Amino acid sequence: MSTPLLEVRNVGKRFGGVIALREVSTVVNAGEVTCVLGDNGAGKSTLIKILAGAHCHDEGEYLVEGEPVRLSSPREALDRGIATVFQDLAVVPLMSVWRNFFLGSEPRVGWGPFSMIDRKKACETTRSALADMGIDLRDVEQPVGTLSGGERQCVAIARAVHFGAKVLILDEPTAALGVKQAGVVLKYVAQARDRGLGVVLITHNPHHAYPVGDRFLLLKRGRSLGCQEKADITLAELTRQMAGGAELEALEHELRQERVVPEPAGALEKKVNNSRLSKERAIS
């Protein structure tokens, strides 16, 4: 079995007296999607920041291709082939698609202080990279702010693939997207996986995770509820565990109980009078 691209073993993180993450373990393999699911406050953001190098873990081990690491910055993570696309995309809305695609890594012509951005090559490279991922934009010269949320996510995914990422971490890429746009983003997540990348998909929606996921890590209040392979869990069971499992069943049972409706005032007296009247008629 090949060495995982990423692996965390019993990882934990504290912020003062607050335990944000405790004893979380999972792996990210090449050509697979590991989905991290949980409600708000489950610890998803803390885990993604540890993987991306924004936070350092306090407990456990973090391994990159089998090597224990303590990443000190997102730049160090990127140098190791770990690219992160956060929910609030780092794009400049008024700049063109190709400028956002490179954003500091533009191809240049000339030498030293006399060099200039090679606009033609940048546009061609952007167009080609997007086409390789099956992304068809009208014009790479258009401002990125004119794209839909789904299209912007797809551009960010293509950018990470183009610059040689081995691991792609996606923070809630389908949040606030419509059904059609979410489907488009998931299509490109699957394409990134099929190109051999290891993908970490952070989401709170099991219906988005299950179609593309190979492994599912469930978090609740900073703790792991388990990490299961797709073959070992159904969508219905994943949804049940995500929604709270036994807690949800107890709530449903409570809601199904018949409501005890109090009888209106005078109803009992009316019943007694009717009973007496019936007896008197029977005697007569």
pLDDT in tens, 16-61: 889 999 999 999 999 999 999 998 889 999 999 999 999 999 999 9
- 173 within domain boundaries: yes
112: exposed, middle or buried (C-beta count within 10 Å: 0-12, 13-18, 19+)?
A: exposed
Q: How far is CA 6 from the centre of its chain?
A: 17
Judge whether 42 lies within some domain: yes
| The total number of structural domains that make up the chain | 1
Find residue 18's DSSP bridge partners. Answer: 15
Query: Which of 52, 43, 39, 38 shows the shortest CA–CA distance to 12?
Result: 43
pLDDT given for residue 277 in this prediction: 58
> Is the per-residue pLDDT at 170 higher than 90?
yes
- Owner of token pair 């059609």: 180
Q: Does a structural domain hold residue 140?
A: no
Residue with tokens 């995770």: 209
Q: What is the CATH number of the domain that holds 21?
A: 3.40.50.300
**What pLDDT does residue 134 have?**
80
Q: Each residue of 52-95: pLDDT tens digit?
A: 999 999 999 999 999 999 999 999 999 999 999 887 766 788 99
189-216 tens-digit pLDDT: 999 999 999 999 999 999 999 999 999 9
Q: Which residue range is the domain that position 89 belongs to?
A: 6-96+164-283
Burial class (CB in 10 A: 0-12, 13-18, 19+), 284: exposed
pTM: 0.81
Cα(193)–Cα(170) distance, integer angstroms: 12
Looking at residues 252-275, what average pLDDT do you find? Answer: 62
Domain annotation covers residue 106: no
> Does any domain span residue 134?
no
Instruction: Give the pLDDT band of residue 98 (cuts 50, 70, 90).
Output: very high
138 inside domain: no
CA pair distance 171, 48, nearest whole angstrom: 8
Is there a domain that residue 155 lies in?
no
Q: 33, 187 in Cβ contact below 8 A?
A: no
Whole-number pLDDT of residue 147? 87
* E strand intervals along the chain: 6-15, 18-28, 33-37, 59-64, 67-68, 82-85, 108-109, 116-117, 167-171, 198-203, 215-220, 223-229
Evaluate whether residue 217 is within a structural domain: yes
